[in-house]
Structure formats: C-alpha cells, structure tokens
C-alpha cells in the first residue's frame, strides 16, 4: 500500500484523529488515584465507540506470531515506557507517572497518539521530564515538511533534550501510520547512524513519538510479555501525535489532548 495518502484519506484521518484525541482526553481525566487501569481503558473505548471509531491496539499483533494485544489503551506507569496492558487489578497511585497510548480505526484508517500525566504528588524532576518530552515532540514537528529527511526528527529531539542528560529510548521508534498501526518509515528519536535515508513527502502520515527516561535509555520486557520498562527503574515519559506531511509543514491529524 502506498505510504502517500490521498487528500480524501487525510480528511478521514483528521475526523478519526479528533475522535481519538477526545478519547485520550477522557482517559487523562479519568487517570486519578484509585482508578483501575481497566476503568480508564473502558472510558477511552466507550468514548471512541460512541463516535463510531474502533480501538486499533485491542487484538493487534505487533509481530504476526505475537499474542493479540488485550486492551484499548497501553497504560505504562513509572518505569514502564510503553505497551503495558490495562488490567482490573492495577490501580493508579498517588505519585504515578502514567503514559496513555491509544489508536483508533475510523473510515478504514488508523491514527495513533499518546500523552503522559502526573498523578498527585509527583517529584519536580519527573514533572519536568514529562513537560520536556512533550516539548521535544513540538521541536520535532518543526522539521516536518515535504523534502525534509526523516532523520531530522531524531536530530531535533536529541538536540533539544541534550542539556538534560535524559536517556532517549533507542529500541523503539515512531512510524508511518494509516492503513496499518505500524507502517514504514521507522522514525528514530535520536541521531541513529542506522537510520534509513528517507525523505518526507506530501501525503505521508507519520506517528512521531519520543520516549524518554530520567536515567538510561536501556529497556527490557517485563514478564507479562508486553510492558517495556527502563532497566535502571528510572521514570519514563512518552508523547505522540499523528501528522500528515504537507508542502510547507504538516497537518495535525490528532489534536493535542485537552484535559479539562
């Protein structure tokens, strides 16, 4: 399938992105002390289903031989970076740093986005990690335009975050999105010498998603077979939006969530 979406497809993606952003905003509001991750998951799923969209992670297989993903949201808490499933037994605690990642199918196309919220008494350096990770994504968006190199995204993120000494996760990437949850190109979040030389083109739809740790970038998979967490146990933050590349910039497919 072509990585270039038609103007009609981009209009569908924008309608889907509005629905997705509303579902993520609802999940962020529901992310309070005492809520189970399953409660938050249901709120997000019901929000998108009322609008006619369907979860795109629920049932998804990252690799064809993987098991199907069990929830609508990935709710990754504290040292977890991404992909933690929602479960009834898992309760949000005071001081948690909670990453919420979600995708939705609408009119045959899928969008992807994520945000990180601080619940209650979160340490100042952890709040700063959350804010700076979002700002790094905003910096990355500034390089997006037809003709730019995909590698400029990682360079912008790395340069912006350099003064903090954070660990930018290296084993996970942003990606093309639309006809599938993960499409080419892969989008590293740092100056990756292995990055393929791909140029952005008008109509490409990209999910850009810096994942950043207070400590080292090294991660491992928890025994549930899904959750990816920092090896040193340090806190991680994750923000993601889907954009469509245009001649002179981008169209935001998934509006920034509004929490209020």
Taking a C-beta distance cutoff of 8 angstroms, is the pair 251, 244 a contact? Answer: yes
Binding mask 16-45 for Co ion (x = CB under 5 A): ------------------------------
What gap in Å lies between CA 105 and CA 110, rounded to an integer? 4
Taking a C-beta distance cutoff of 8 angstroms, is the pair 128, 77 a contact? Answer: no
Q: Which does 190 bind (CB under 5 to 8 A by kind): ligand MF3, Co ion, none?
A: none
DSSP string, 5-31: PPHHHHHHHHHHHHHHHHHHHHHHHH-
**Which among 57-65, 92-100, 125-133, 140-148 is the span making contact with ligand MF3, rule CB under 6 A?**
57-65
112 in contact with ligand MF3 (CB under 6 A): yes
**Which among 8-16, 29-37, 56-64, 86-94 is the span making contact with ligand MF3, rule CB under 6 A?**
56-64
62 in contact with ligand MF3 (CB under 6 A): yes
Instruction: Scan residues 104-133 and list those touching Co ion (CB under 5 A).
Output: 112
State both tokens at 65: 């031989």
What gap in Å lies between CA 255 and CA 84, rounded to an integer? 24
Q: How far is the CB of 45 from ligand MF3 (least distance, A)?
A: 13
Instruction: Scan residues 180-239 and list those touching Co ion (CB under 5 A).
Output: 207, 209
| Helix-helix angle 124-142:151-161, to 10 degrees | 150
Contact residues for 32 (Cβ-Cβ < 8 A; gap 6+): 92, 119
Query: Interface with Co ion by CB under 5 A: which residues?
Result: 112, 207, 209
Query: Interface with ligand MF3 by CB under 6 A: which residues?
Result: 57, 60, 62, 69, 74, 82-83, 101, 103, 112, 181
């Amino acid at each position: 399938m072509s990585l270039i979406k038609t103007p009609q497809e981009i209009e569908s993606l924008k309608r889907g992105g509005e629905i997705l952003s509303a579902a993520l905003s609802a999940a962020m509001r529901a992310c309070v002390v005492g809520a189970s991750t399953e409660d938050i998951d249901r709120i997000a799923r019901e929000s998108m289903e009322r609008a006619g969209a369907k979860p795109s992670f629920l049932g998804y297989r990252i690799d064809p031989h993987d098991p199907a993903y069990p929830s609508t949201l990935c709710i990754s808490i504290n040292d977890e970076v991404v992909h933690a499933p929602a479960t009834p037994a898992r309760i949000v605690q005071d001081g948690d740093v909670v990453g919420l990642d979600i995708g939705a199918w609408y009119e045959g196309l899928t969008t992807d986005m994520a945000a990180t919220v601080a619940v209650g008494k979160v340490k100042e350096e952890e709040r700063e990690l959350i804010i700076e990770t979002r700002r790094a994504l905003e910096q990355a968006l500034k390089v997006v335009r037809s003709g730019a190199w995909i590698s400029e995204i990682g360079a912008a993120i790395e340069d912006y975050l350099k003064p903090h000494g954070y660990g930018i996760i290296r084993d996970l990437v942003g990606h093309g999105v639309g006809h599938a949850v993960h499409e080419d190109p892969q989008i590293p979040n740092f100056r990756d010498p292995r990055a393929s030389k791909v140029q952005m083109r008008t109509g490409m739809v990209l999910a850009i998603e810096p994942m950043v740790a207070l400590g080292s970038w090294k991660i491992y998979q928890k025994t549930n077979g899904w959750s990816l967490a920092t090896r040193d146990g340090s806190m991680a933050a994750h923000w993601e939006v889907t954009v469509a590349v245009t001649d002179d910039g981008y169209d935001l497919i998934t509006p920034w969530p509004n929490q209020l």
